[in-house]
Amino acid sequence: MNKNPFLKTLGLTVCIGLLSLTGCTTVKEYQKSRINDAEMELSARKSEKFEQNFYLYREGAAGANGGKSGGGCGCN
Amino acid sequence: MKKICISVGVLLSLLQAGYGQSTTQPAYEKRKLKVEEINLVSSYYQQDGNNSAVTGGIGTEKLTDFAQSFDLVLKTTDQRNRQHTIAFDFNIDHYTSASSDNIDPLTVSSASRSDTHIYPSLSWSVHNDNNRTTKGLAFSYSTEYDYKSYGINLNFAKASTDNNREVSLKAGAFFDTWKAILPPELRPDGYGSGAHGDRDPIDYKPRNSYNLSVSVSQVINKRMQLLFTVEPSFQQGLLSTPFHRIYFQDGGETVEKLPGTRLKLPVSFRLHYFMGDRVVVRTFYRYYIDDWGMQAHTANLEVPVKLTSFISVSPFYRFSHQTAVRYFAPYEQHKQTEKYYTSDYDISGFNSQFIGIGFRTAPPGGLFGIGHWQSVELRFGHYSRTTGMVANSLTLLAKIK
């Protein structure tokens, strides 16, 4: 049985994603002092901006990290 | 009894006033567009190696890049109490590249030796607190000597009632144009060099990229949250680089040739955990697969430690593993009978590591007593990969609020 690897990957990650959402507790706004800390921000740091560019240029496996995923050559 | 009646009457009137406050919409106040924050980022990057794609997989990869970024975020509130955010981002890179100097060693004519890459973007988003949605639109532009790109992005996000979960969708398209500069020994008769002042014609080729991103962020508990992202992208057009040389086993020479389409599927998790009172654990994992035969795993761990309430130090480590695309072979390893060929080590199989440390300070009264200067970050990293390439980067960020 040779399934499409893209569909297999997508299906697996959706399952893992849904499973990871179970077991969450409701957190009220006033309980989010740690969640709202600047170091907890759910994105790459602004100071990582140019690091992400060179990953995209120097590694063929690009994307899914909030960085630029298209546009611009980056070949030199 | 009289006192009790008065007390109850006062309490009831207070209660009424309380209800009155909670049900009345806040009156609209005309608010000017005001500066929310300004970020200034400066970065220096240098690399060296011996697998340049310009010379067919051998030769220097020496490169230095000095990059500057300025981003300005403006905010305002409209009559319906929606928050509008306008962001302007301007970036400029100046690089010197020893390998691209070898495109045309006689004239140093093309995207060679040094170039300036400019890429501004403008975005606008609207956040509505009543239905917890955010909608946005962004335009981007990028220009280098031999390359131009126009981009458009749309995004939509909706948060749950308790604001513990947010689903966001992004769609983007980039419309790019290559100036097809060829190595001098492979130019047909009458084909231009691409240099300033050369009137001989040169080809222009398109490359378009379409990206889709679906992500879910979730607060797990008071100390932990995660982000899950699927970001498929599709590219079509000239996906090979016109001035990358290929040397065949029999000594023949040509330029890189790759398929005209590429489908990529990266999926990633980001999990952040606040441990105790001083330590944050930031983890990131990405799996990548594409239809050129490449698969990759990337894992990143960063542990910011708060030395005081306004100073933190963040050591980080990133590991990445990728397999080669099926069209890759080193210098003089390709056969003339192959349909596609590349000797670009950026799409070869390798492991890479990036290790470094960041420093951040955000004093309550502003930096050096300047109230608006909110924080500063300094970040150093050393990159190495198993192909022998090494690089170092140093970044400085200043945030003004």
Nearest chain A residue to B103, by CA: A76
Query: Are B86 and B68 within 8 A, CB to CB?
Result: no
B67-83 pLDDT, tens digit each: 999 999 999 999 899 99
**Please, which residues 274-293 of chain B have a Cβ atom closer than 8 Å to chain A?**
274, 280, 282, 284, 286-291
- Reference B342, options B351, B354, B350, B333; nearest CA is B333
Residue with tokens 């909670």: B22
B105-155 pLDDT, tens digit each: 665 544 447 888 899 999 999 999 999 999 999 999 988 888 899 999 999
B163-204 pLDDT, tens digit each: 999 999 999 999 999 889 899 899 999 998 887 778 889 999
Residue with tokens 């979960």: B165
Query: Are B304 and A39 within 8 A, CB to CB?
Result: yes
**Please, which residues 227-266 of chain B have a Cβ atom closer than 8 Å to chain A?**
227-231, 233, 235, 241, 244, 263-266
Residue with tokens 């397999």: B323
Query: Are B237 and B205 within 8 A, CB to CB?
Result: yes
pLDDT exceeds cutoff 50 at A64: no
CA B367 vs. chain centroid, Å, equals 28
Buried b (16+ CB within 10 A) or exposed e, B135-149: ebebebebebbbbbb
Q: Do B358 and A47 touch (CB under 8 A)?
A: yes
Residue with tokens 């670009």: B344
Partner residue opposite A27 with nearest CB, options B164, B217, B228? B164
Which residues, in sequence order, are CB contacts of B82 under 8 Å at separation 6+?
A: B126, B127, B128, B129
Question: B97 pairs with which residues across the strands?
Answer: B63, B113
Average pLDDT, chain B: 89
- Reference B321, options B302, B300, B342, B292; nearest CA is B300
Q: How confident is the model at residue A9 (pLDDT cuts 50, 70, 90)?
A: low
**Please, which residues 65-124 of chain B have a Cβ atom closer than 8 Å to chain A?**
65, 67, 69, 71, 95, 97, 99-100, 111, 115, 117, 119
* CB atoms inside a 10 Å sphere around CB A20: 16
CA distances to A37, B108, B220, B306 from B274, rounded to whole Å, are 9, 53, 12, 11
Distance CA B297, CA B291 (A): 16
* Reported pTM: 0.86
